[in-house]
Amino acid sequence: MSEATDLLLRHGPLIVLAVTAAWLAIATRRTSSLIGGRAYGFGASLRQRLARLLFAGSIVGAAVALGAHAAGYATALFSPVAGEAAVIRLVGLALAVAGQGLTLFAQGAMGRRWRVGLPETAPDALVSTGLFGLSRNPVFLGMLAMGVGSAVAVTSPAMIACAVSFWIACEIQIRDEERFLQRSFGPDYLDYRSVVRRWI
């Protein structure tokens, strides 16, 4: 593996995660300002507490794992599996970058309707066009692609655990959001759900 490739694989996944996390944090703060309320919030149910814990744990865990890998902290927990071909790791990084692009583009398309978790009040309209006409959850799809791609780029036990935890959190959150949207938008959401798939 060339020095440039090693550098890319060592730092690329961490940069992708950091940029995406910063973007979404800024977007959520901006949306809160636009709507005059909180665009962030998880419910008090056990499912919502579990989803929040899994999201937070997987994101912080990935940041620690990718940071340790970037710093060259070689342990069995943080080091990629020995013998994994560089080309496979590069494909993983490319998937993570593509997932990042999808996440940021889909989030931007939501504008003032962007929410994290289950908001206290529903957005003023259901977003169902553009990317949301192809998938009901393009932001989650992009973030999951990012997580899987990063775990392929740095196939360490820690990253695999983080990717699996993030996927479970997505599955819980999506189903809770579906119930929230059905209560909020009724027949409009049911019609949308009948023609657009949950993932892809």
Give me the domain span that covers residue 23: 3-195
pLDDT, greater one: 141 or 119: 141
Residue 135 lies in a domain: yes
How far is 161 from 139, CA to CA, in rounded Å?
21
Q: What is the mean pLDDT of the chain?
A: 93
End-to-end CA distance of the chain: give it in Å, rounded: 35
Quick one: pLDDT at residue 122? Answer: 76
Using an 8 Å Cβ cutoff, are 198 and 136 in contact?
A: yes
How far apart are alpha carbons 145 and 132 in whole angstroms?
Answer: 17
Is residue 200 a part of any domain in this protein? no
pLDDT tens digit string along 168-198?
A: 999 999 999 999 999 999 999 999 999 999 9
pLDDT in tens, 12-49: 999 999 999 999 999 999 999 988 888 888 888 899 99
What's the CA gap between 149 and 102, in Å, rounded?
13
- Summarize the confidence of residues 156-162 as an average pLDDT: 96
pLDDT of residue 87: 92
Per-residue model confidence as pLDDT tens digits over 87-124: 999 999 999 999 999 999 999 999 989 989 887 777 88
pLDDT of 166 higher than 80: yes
What pLDDT does residue 43 have?
81
**147 lies in a domain?**
yes
**The pLDDT value given to residue 79:** 84
Report how far residue 189's alpha carbon sits from residue 47's, in angstroms, rounded to the nearest whole number: 22
Residues 33/86, Cβ–Cβ less than 8 Å: no
Please check whether residue 129 is in contact with residue 179, taking contact to mean a CB–CB distance below 8 angstroms.
Answer: no
User: Is there a domain that residue 167 lies in?
Assistant: yes
- Residue 19 covered by a domain: yes
**Rg of the chain on CA atoms, in Å:** 18
Domain count, the chain: 1
What integer pLDDT is reported at residue 100 of this predicted model? 98
Give kind and range of the element (H or E) at residue 191: helix 187-195
Residue 46 resides in a domain: yes
Residues 67-85: pLDDT tens digits? 999 998 878 888 888 677 8
β-strands 116-117, 40-41 pairing: parallel
Here the CATH number for the domain that contains residue 46 is 1.20.120.1630
At residue 41, the pLDDT reads: 85
pLDDT of residue 141 exceeding 90, the answer is yes
Judge whether 131 and 72 are in contact, CB under 8 Å.
no
Let me know: does 119 contact 31? Beta carbons within 8 Å: no
Q: Is residue 49 part of a domain?
A: yes
Rounded distance, CA 49 to CA 74, Å? 33
47 within a domain of the structure (yes/no): yes
Q: What stretches of 111-156 show up as alpha helix (H) in DSSP?
A: 138-153
pTM for this one?
0.93
Q: Give the residues across from 117 on adjacent strands.
A: 41
Sequence letter at residue 146: M
| Residue 118 confidence (pLDDT) | 86
Write down how long the chain is: 200
